[in-house]
Structure 1
Amino acid sequence: MEALEQIKERMQSFLEALDSPLTLELSKHLQSGKMLRSKLVLNIAGVSEESILLCAVVEMIQSASLLHDDVIDNSLMRRSKPSINAIAGDKNAIMLGDVFYSKAFCELVAFHKEYPQIPHIIADSVVRLALGEIEDVYLSQSFNTDEKKYLAMIEKKTAALIESTAFAAALLAKKSPQDAKKFRNYGRNLGIAFQIIDDILDITATQEKLGKPILNDFKEGKTTLPYIYLYHSLQEQDKERLKKSFKQEISQDEMVWILQQFQQSDAIKRSFRLAKNLGEAGMQSISDQSCNKLIAIMQEMIDRDF
């Protein structure tokens, strides 16, 4: 059986062990993603009982974070399908996320005896993820023009779990502490670059590719990196015009204007350049580890169109 299918089966077994038909019914509506974090584990630590368990735990945590994220953002679509909060309401989505988090932590303790660092590494990443969510909500209250604040937020919210997954997988593979840190650095850079590419695609991709309307981040109150760069490139009058569209239903005329400003500025190119530089630094950190598949994962993530 393919490793990714084994991971899905392990996650399903976690849920079945809860003896909760309601949880199983709600879980049927979850959309499977790219399983990026699992691919990192499998390519760093190989396929084993322990690596499948680690993948299942991390994917449960990722699913929990997305369940909560959709409620926070009032997102009714997830990967072109209705989100759990759209189907069953915010309360059920929040509680299902809580179940996923709790069950993941229950299973995580299995590593304590042989790999005592792994539970702490993964648990700490969830703390940082939650802190990033808080910062994201705070930043969305007004138009943010501070690049450093935004990058610090996505390092917690998006990159923390990816970073810790790569680090934990390296320990599972019995890498030396020094080498394990190289994989941790790779994971952090992958996570930050991943979010920046997502930011770009929200502007440049089609609705069909995204599974949601373009410029959706801006309408939801997220001043992502391309908007920060765009803002600083505009004249004062246009800065104010851009800010007026923040967190609003954007008219067709304003959408055309915003897209024109992006075309005329270097905001998208600057954002992509930063993502590419982060990716290159991440790949450089593991250049002595013979990990061609991880290099390919980074390159594919940066070059993706959805």
Structure 2
Amino acid sequence: MDTATTSASAAGPVRVTRRDAVLHIELNRPEARNPLGPDTVAALDAAVREGGADDAVRVLLFTASGDAFSAGGNLANMQDRLGAPPGSDGRDPIAAGNRLYGDFLARLCASPKVSVAVVQGHAMGGGAGLICACDISVGLAGARYGFPEAAIGLVPGQILPFVVARIGVPAARRLILTGQRIDGIEAHRIGLIDYLAHDAAELADRTSALLSGVLGCGPSASIETKRLLRQVAQPQAGAALASYLDEAAGVFAHQMRTEAVEGVAASRARRKPQWAVPAPRLTH
């Protein structure tokens, strides 16, 4: 693929480049570990819409610049978010903002184009959720994955349907309710990552082979297969998914205003939150 057009500034949070049939969507804030703030989510959503509307595009390829794939949601402006007034509809602005990520993931899942995530570094929270929402993923063995929301008093409600659809309820329950981080080898074992690479060269080779495989399939066959897969593999879709994501956004906002105040403060101070108590040592 030697022809390319760029549709976003290299200085923006997301860099979008089309190379023939592949729309390359690159998270582009490496200095902050590619956080998923409102500007980034809006740019990701616009890129997915762009790819979906372009008949020449057959693959949405997600990558990230820097050492991390994505640190997840951006809590750097937490105090500003807590102080923001309700919207004109009276809705909590935190809930409204959180809900936008669920909209994006639902749109990505519903896209007729095949989505591929290439994971070169750590993916946490919403970053891991983005991987789960993609059709196929390949990642480095040394990357780390996890869902740290509950450990700081939050709930990963917007990504939960997509996480469960990819790795199942038992694995989702275990990772989210313990805050455990896992490496790429374990992520591959449980199905969070489809293909594993042990260095950058192997990651590039596996990505090229994966793209060749996808682009070797009939375009209409791929679109129709994705449509049918959504019917059999995603029982929670359409109005049911929208209702769930609305409720989850409200739960997120409540947690942000209660437990997460302490949880985020503790994380920044590198201490245990007040609710963390010592685990008893079990003896026989």
Q: Please identify which structure carries the higher helix content.
A: 1
TM-score by length of 1: 0.29
Q: Please identify which structure carries the higher strand content.
A: 2
TM-score by length of 2: 0.31
